[in-house]
Every structure is written in C-alpha cells, then in structure tokens.
C-alpha cells in the first residue's frame, strides 16, 4: 500500500512537521518596491552596496550604471575572499571567482545554437581527429597589456597535465593529450593519443560551466604551487584577465568589478564596451532576503529562486521578469538535472539493492506537489531535455520499462532490502546486524525545497534520514565523507557521453582524497564502453555509437549509479528597473545564469533602462 499517495500537500506538511522556508516560502510582502529612476533621468538613490564602494575609496558610479547581483557565499559572507585563481584550493567559484573577467576561446549558446569565436578565430581537426589546430585572435591582450597568445594556451595545458588529477580538467588532459605546442603566437597544435572528436566542443567552448580556464603564462610560470596561489592584489593589477571587468574591491560582504575601458575587444574594434560600468556581487543571505531585495529593486538579478518564492516576487514587483516572462514556470530547463547521488566506495549504498530501495521510497509526484507547487519536471535519466539529446532519451524507453527510475513502490523497496539481508526493527527502520541504514542527506541551499520532503519520505520508507546544508557540503562529497546527497549533473548538452563519462573509474579515488566527480563508481565493462564512445564522432544516427550508448546507459540503470529526481529549472529573476535586454524565451540569445561561462554574452548585451 502506497500511503503517501493519499496525502495532499497540506496534510503531508502537517503530519511530517516540515515547515522550512524552502518548502513553505513566506509571502515576501513587506515593503513596496523602491522607486525607479524617473523618465526624466534623475539619478537613482545610492544603494547600500554603492555606499560601501564609496567607503572603500572607489570612484563614484551611479546606480543606473551599476549592475548588482546576489549569488554565492556562505551564510551571507564570502569565505573565499582573495582567491581569484579558480584553480586554487578553497576557491568556491572557479571561473566565476571574478564575474565578467574570464573569456573562452569560443562561446557557445545552447539556446541560440550558436558558436561565437572569441579569443580564437577558428579550430580544425585532421582527418582522424587525433590533431586539432587552434588559431588565436590577433590583438587579444591580458589586462596588464601583455598579449594573449598560443603560448598561454599551451602553458595552461601543461599546467593541468603537471597537476593531474588535482585541478579541474587535468585528468582528461593527462589521459587524452599527447602534446600541445605553440607553433607561433597565433597557432597552437594539440595532439591526442587516440581520436578525440568531441574535445573541441567539450573543453575549448565556453558554455554553461564547462570550458578550460586559461591562465597568463607570464604570471603563472613563476608560481611554485598553483593550488596555493590566490592571484589577488589590486596594487599589482591582479588578477590579470582578458575580460572587460576586473576586481577593484573584495570583502566578505561584497565584490566590486569595474569596467576596463582598455579592454582588448574595444581597442581592436571587435566589440563595443559593455554599457555596464560597475558590477557588484553580494553574497546570498537566505531566500527571503534575496527575494525582498529583488522586490525592493535593490538587486538586478540573483541566484535562481525556489518555485514557491519566485511567484511571490513576480506578483509583488511588476518590473521583475523571468525567462518565461511573468508566467509559469518562471524559468528554463538547465543542463543540471538533479539526482540522489551515492557513495559507491563506502557505506550502505555500495549495495545496488539499497540504492534501488531508496529510489523506490521517493514519491516524486508528491515531491512536486509539496515542494514545487506542481511546477517542476521529473526525469528518469540524468540528461537535460534538450533537442539534440532527445533521440537518445527516446531510444532508452524500452530500458526504462525494465528499470523504472521514477517508480514509487514501497513493496519493491522492501523486496530489495530483504534480498540484501535487512529487516525492519521495532521502530520500523531498516537494519542489519543491529545497524540502521543512515540516509542523512546533504545538499546546497537550492535544494531546500525538495530536500526536506525527500528526507521525510525516506523516513516513512524506513530509513534514518534528514536533510542539511553544511558549509563543507562540497568537500564532504568530494572526499567521500558523505554517503548520500542531492546534486546536479553539469554534463551533457548535445551528447550523452559528457554525463556518462562522469562515472568512469578514472575519477575514482580512495576515501579521503578529492574527486572531480564524486560517485566513486568502478566497473571495467562500463569503462570500456565509455572509452569506445570517446573515440567516435557522436551521432544518434550512427548505429555503432547508439549501441555503445544503450549498453552504457543500461549499466547505469541496472546499477542505479545515482537516482534521477527532476529536471533542474533555472528560475532566475531579472529586474528591469535599471537594465533591459535580459535573455528570455522571446530574446533567447543565451541561458540566463550569470554565473556560467557565457556571462560575457549577457554583460555585453544589457542596456540601461533609462538610456
């Protein structure tokens, strides 16, 4: 009997005692929105962030030329102040350490299906995809005036290889790349041990959160330990960047980036200077505070809001829009579908029966109703529902009949647990040899809506469970301390390989050591399939490639490497009081996450409302 199905949202919350802000978002209804600039162009009142910038001795920039963003941080503080090197230990934000400063060789907008050559002008493979020649754009400069050349690209690859597996992308560089040579200042030749047809798109295109971060050779060549290098010193002009913005002030309370009027792209006539003169980021201090500041026109955009919150924000401020305008679902499908992740190396979830029992105990439909007011989208696979991926998803349908990852079935959960020697104790919890199954989940605060609901469902299914968002969530997942957690997949966009390769044993590490992808799954049969897929040009019309995909995804499903939960909807608010030309469904030039590598496309497009 599936009793949870018969409980509505109100009854579930009442009986379970859940009343978190993430689940029952308060109607943010206090103050009315602050007055917008008048049509006559009168200056807007200074914000608290502008006042802080003035107190730091920075030049005066009016509010209507300042973009204020709220994102990142821990409990209202930036805890990685001074770590402008995205590869540094402790850097929480990578390429986003200084928003608007990083630029890729090529931008790629998945929403516009457009490739935009940027620091590079082109790239060409040889016939068998074992060599890739990249041409660097002439006239590109670092912020200290030093030319950006092929030498910087080759040096970055060497740095990654020398520091494998500790730095992001370093494992792939070590395992795939035979050599990287700057033939001249504008040409770099990359050679691979085997055919690597997807390397260009995967690693040299800046899209969502993927794409290698380039470092200035003339600075890093003198750094003894990359992971210990902060790269922030305003007097030295650090960080040295290629983007149109650089950091001029950084405290636990805010980060200030001013426009560089000597930006290379403007100097050579490749692009106009952004109309934004200053970007201020402030740390997230809870959903309620973030929402209230958006309602009051104190910020222009923020980290995505929960479903129960953004509807209130839109209702209370007519200047706030989203990707879908002012209508549900208030967002778009991101590349980050959510799963319940498991530690395959240590703890009870090394057993596939226990993993499947966890999945069967989650009533996903009820989760949608309670946590997301019915506005979410469930998923049976760890891939976003993007058009290039749909042929693969559709081909998986017969396997999903056999391995139904979205099924809620407590009887099947019990069968799985019993098969592995578990019995329910006197209080109704699954136990073996006197030990209960501890399913204490962690996750980021963005899961504060669904996390508590799932934890309660697991408790009702016989697992000892709760949900928390500790400050060291990422470290716990990476070093194997954590056994079960909620997280997304920053992987596939147009090819299932990019997500499936996350489970390759090259990313395995002993408990206590950091990992790039955290499942710690090991399976030689699976590895062999992924290795073969890596050599082929991906196409759903290629029967060989499709066969490899179906074999690999069947292992994923059979072993339930992680348990798919939902498609991730980015419900990002955009305030049009001061800035327009935000990316929306009707203006779909790029996805709207300003923390992604495509932020430059947004900053270069935004226009003052009172122009």
| pLDDT tens by residue, 152-207 | 999 999 999 999 999 999 999 999 999 999 999 999 999 999 999 999 999 999 99
- As given in the structure block, the two tokens for residue 399 are 């396997």
How far are the Cα atoms of 387, 395, 397, 531 from residue 390, in angstroms, in the given order? 5, 8, 11, 23
Listed ranges 108-112, 120-124, 443-447; the one with the highest mean pLDDT: 120-124
Where is pLDDT greater, at 471 or 37?
Answer: 471
In contact, 536 and 544? CB cutoff 8 Å? yes
How far are the Cα atoms of 29, 72, 247, 284 from residue 254, in angstroms, in the given order? 26, 11, 11, 10
Smallest Cα–Cα separation from 507: which of 530, 485, 487, 541? Answer: 530
DSSP, res 146: P
Q: Which residues pair with 441 in a beta bridge?
A: 467
Q: How confident is the model at residue 28 (pLDDT cuts 50, 70, 90)?
A: very low
**Count of CB atoms within 10 A of residue 205's CB?**
23
| pLDDT tens by residue, 46-57 | 677 766 777 678
Q: Quick check: helix, strand or coil at residue 448?
A: coil
- Report d(CA 314, CA 78) in Å as an integer: 28
Burial of 367 from C-beta contacts in 10 A (0-12 / 13-18 / 19+): buried
Residue burial 37-47, b: 16+ Cβ < 10 Å; e: rest:
beeeeeebeeb
Cβ-proximal residues to 54 (8 Å cutoff; 6+ apart), any chain? 46, 60
Segment (H or E) for 378: strand 377-378
Q: How confident is the model at residue 26 (pLDDT cuts 50, 70, 90)?
A: very low
Q: What is the pLDDT of residue 308?
A: 87
Q: What pTM does this model have? A: 0.87
Q: What is the pLDDT of residue 89?
A: 86
pLDDT at 30 over 50: no
Q: What is the pLDDT of residue 284?
A: 92
pLDDT at 253 over 60: yes
Query: Could you tell me whether strands 441-442 and 320-321 are parallel, antiparallel, or unpaired per DSSP bridges?
Result: unpaired
In contact, 136 and 187? CB cutoff 8 Å? yes
Three-class secondary structure assignment of 53-98: HHHCCCCCCCHHHEEEEECCCECCECCCCCCCCCCCCCCCCHHHHC
Domains, the chain, in order of start with CATH, read 48-78+251-332+570-608 (3.40.190.10), 106-220 (3.90.76.10), 335-567 (3.10.105.10)
- Give the largest Cα separation in the chain, rounded: 76
- Report d(CA 204, CA 105) in Å as an integer: 6
Cα dihedral sign for 352, 357, 363, 367? negative
What percent of the chain lies above the pLDDT cut of 70? 92
- Report d(CA 214, CA 597) in Å as an integer: 12
**Count of CB atoms within 10 A of residue 421's CB?**
10
- Report d(CA 158, CA 214) in Å as an integer: 11
Q: How confident is the model at residue 252 (pLDDT cuts 50, 70, 90)?
A: very high
**Count of CB atoms within 10 A of residue 103's CB?**
25
- Report d(CA 487, CA 502) in Å as an integer: 13
- Report d(CA 584, CA 150) in Å as an integer: 36
What percent of the chain lies above the pLDDT cut of 90? 85
Which residue matches tokens 């309670």? 370
pLDDT at 588 over 50: yes
- For the sheet containing 177-184, what is the strand order? 120-125, 131-136, 187-192, 177-184
Q: What is the pLDDT of residue 498?
A: 95
């Amino acid at each position: 009997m599936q009793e949870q199905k018969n409980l509505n949202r109100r009854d579930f919350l009442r009986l379970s005692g859940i009343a978190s802000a993430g689940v029952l978002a308060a109607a943010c209804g206090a103050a009315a929105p602050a007055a917008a600039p008048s049509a006559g162009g009168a200056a807007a009142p200074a914000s608290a962030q502008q006042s802080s910038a003035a107190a730091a001795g920075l030049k005066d920039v009016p509010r209507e030329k300042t973009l204020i963003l709220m994102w990142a941080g821990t409990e209202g503080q930036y805890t990685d102040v001074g770590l402008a090197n995205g590869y540094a230990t402790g850097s929480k934000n990578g390429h986003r350490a200084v928003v608007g400063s990083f630029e890729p060789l090529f931008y790629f907008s998945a929403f516009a299906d457009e490739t935009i050559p940027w620091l590079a002008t082109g790239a060409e493979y040889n016939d068998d995809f074992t060599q890739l020649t990249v041409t660097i754009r002439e006239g590109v400069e670092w912020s200290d005036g030093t030319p950006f050349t092929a030498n910087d690209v080759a040096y970055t690859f060497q740095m990654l290889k020398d520091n494998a597996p500790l730095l992001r992308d370093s494992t792939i560089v070590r395992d795939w790349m035979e050599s990287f040579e700057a033939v001249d200042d504008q040409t770099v030749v990359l050679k691979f041990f085997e055919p690597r047809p997807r390397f260009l798109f995967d690693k040299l295109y800046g899209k969502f959160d993927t794409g290698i971060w380039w470092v200035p050779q003339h600075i890093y060549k003198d750094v003894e330990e990359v992971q210990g290098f902060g790269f922030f010193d305003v007097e030295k002009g650090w960080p040295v960047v290629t983007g149109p913005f650089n950091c001029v002030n950084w405290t636990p309370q805010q980060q200030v980036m001013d426009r560089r009027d000597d930006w290379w792209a403007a100097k050579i006539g490749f692009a106009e200077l952004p109309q934004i003169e200053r970007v201020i980021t402030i740390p997230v201090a809870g959903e309620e505070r973030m929402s209230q500041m958006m309602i009051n026109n104190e910020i222009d955009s923020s980290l995505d809001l929960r479903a129960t919150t953004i509807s209130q924000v839109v209702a209370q401020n007519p200047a706030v829009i989203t990707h879908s305008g002012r209508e549900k679902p208030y967002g778009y499908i991101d590349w980050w579908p959510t799963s319940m992740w498991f530690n395959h190396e240590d703890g009870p979830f090394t057993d596939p029966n226990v993993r499947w029992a966890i999945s069967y105990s989650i009533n996903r439909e009820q989760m949608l109703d309670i946590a997301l007011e019915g506005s979410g989208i469930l998923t049976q696979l760890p891939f976003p529902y993007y058009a290039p991926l749909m042929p693969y998803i559709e081909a998986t349908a017969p396997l999903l009949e056999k391995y139904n990852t979205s099924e809620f079935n407590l009887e099947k959960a019990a069968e799985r647990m019993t098969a592995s020697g578990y019995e329910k104790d006197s209080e109704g919890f699954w136990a073996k040899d006197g030990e209960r199954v501890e399913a204490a989940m962690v996750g980021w605060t963005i899961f504060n809506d669904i996390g508590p609901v799932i934890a309660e469902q697991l408790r009702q299914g016989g697992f000892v469970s709760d949900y928390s968002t500790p400050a060291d969530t990422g470290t716990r997942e990476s070093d194997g301390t954590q056994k079960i957690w909620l997280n997304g997949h920053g992987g596939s966009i147009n090819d299932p390989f990019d997500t499936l390769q996350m489970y390759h044993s090259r990313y395995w590490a002993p408990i206590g050591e950091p990992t790039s992808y955290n499942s710690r799954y090991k399976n030689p049969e699976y590895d062999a399939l992924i290795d073969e897929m890596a050599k082929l040009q991906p196409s759903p019309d290629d029967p060989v490639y499709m066969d490899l995909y179906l074999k690999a995804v069947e292992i994923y499903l059979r072993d339930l490497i992680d348990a798919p939960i939902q498609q991730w909807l980015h419900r990002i608010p955009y305030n049009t009081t001061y800035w327009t030309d935000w990316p929306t469904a009707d203006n779909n030039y790029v996805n709207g996450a300003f923390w992604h590598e495509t932020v430059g496309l947004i900053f270069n497009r935004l226009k003052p409302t009172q122009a």
